Amino acid sequence: MIKLCNIINKSIDFNLRQLVINSKRIYTISSTKQFTHLPLKFKNKEYYDHKGTYILIGDVTYNFKSYSSAKEDDVTAIIESGREFYEIQQEVNLSEFTSNYWRTLRVSKPLLLTFNVDKSAESRMMDSVMGSGVHCKNMSSLDELFETILQYKEHKDLIGCYLNLDNNYDAYLTINKDLFEKIRLSSNSVFLDVTYPYYQSVDEYMKISKIINLVNPHVLRFCNGTLKFLLNTDLQCPLLKENGTNEDFSMERCYYISEKYNLTVIDSSESIVISNHNNMEVVVFPRLPQILNKIHGHNNCFGAVIASMTTLSSDNYLVPSSAAISGLDFVSSESAKKANGPGSMLCNMLDSIYNLSMSPDVISEHKTEVKFYKRK
């Protein structure tokens, strides 16, 4: 376990979130007692103001107000959150902690079953996972995945599932929830990796939310578009903070999603943020090199490696996720230094994963700007 202590006197107060809305729509905000429909008025309309207080999760109180006038071109919605996060220092050496987890991963040799991974990225993903010392099988259906779990359960202690969610929503929505529950109970971890096209309809975003509830994974990762997902599925989500940084916003929305779905969340949209609301902790890693975006399937490669690492824990998935991402930060950094382009970057990435797995101590000299936060 990572023990976090020694509070630094740094407070991040998420009291103000601001969003510019460019289309006319009737919004519904729910409270514990009633539903209130709020018509948002636009340019050349009389001034409109509405205030209401709504308790969404626990002790977090949200105040909503909207306004518009002839002097304003847009409607602005403000949501006050009131959460505070403090940066803390961890006692353990991060490099040593990471190397121990990667060594344990190779020694433990878990089984990772994957589903809905595009054929064009499948071989790269398999190479990445097997390079880390993990046995991997790609399943053609969720029924086959569950049957495989039962076959291996007798002689395999660690079994994890990596479920990729792209725009193939029917692959999940046509499945009975009971099957997902059986998969969850029969495996050490279920990891849902979410990525989608830049342009999507509101209905498609709502399908993603429904699938998250349906699968009920232990760990949820957003590879991109976390903000768009929230804005299209939850009006009560925390939005922008006045004078806040991207890191502030990433932490707040990641923590919010963790509360909402009651799971460990990884948000890779900006900086890489990991949150688990149960222990009120947030870990922030720097953004990975942009050259990775030119490698087809790199999200599947990294997601499957993180999913493999989460099989080592059945309680706090934030810890193995942090170890996996710390190692992948090293892999990305080393690969980018040697790369002459996306092609060589891929080869270097696979080599670095294998080298880290075989000799975890190579990470001892690697430095990264990881930060740890605790909610007050």
Q: Where are the alpha helices (DSSP H) in the chain?
A: 94-108, 119-131, 142-152, 170-173, 177-186, 202-215, 226-233, 246-261, 298-310, 318-338, 342-358
Q: Tell me the two tokens of residue 360.
A: 């975890």
Residue 68: alpha-carbon gap to chain centroid:
35
User: Are the C-beta atoms of residues 159 and 149 closer than 8 Å to each other?
Assistant: yes
pTM of the model: 0.79
User: Are the C-beta atoms of residues 318 and 279 closer than 8 Å to each other?
Assistant: yes
Q: What's the half-sphere exposure (Cβ side, CA atoms, 13 Å) at 38?
A: 23
Bridge partner list, 371: 284
Q: Which CATH architecture has domain 87-375?
A: 3-Layer(aba) Sandwich (3.40)
Task: Specify the pLDDT at position 239.
Answer: 61
- CATH 3.40.1190.20 region(s) of the chain? 87-375
Task: Specify the pLDDT at position 70.
Answer: 30
Residue 126: alpha-carbon gap to chain centroid:
21
Note down pLDDT in tens along the chain; length 376 residues: 444 333 233 333 333 233 333 332 323 233 333 333 333 332 323 323 333 333 333 333 333 333 223 333 333 333 445 567 888 877 678 899 999 999 999 999 999 999 999 999 999 999 999 999 999 999 999 999 999 999 998 888 899 999 999 989 999 999 999 999 999 999 999 999 999 887 888 999 999 999 999 999 999 999 988 888 988 898 777 665 566 677 888 888 899 999 999 999 999 988 899 999 998 999 999 888 888 888 889 999 999 999 999 999 877 899 999 999 999 999 998 888 887 777 788 898 999 999 999 999 999 888 888 999 988 7
Q: Is 2 exposed, middle or buried (0-12, 13-18, 19+ CB in 10 A)?
A: middle
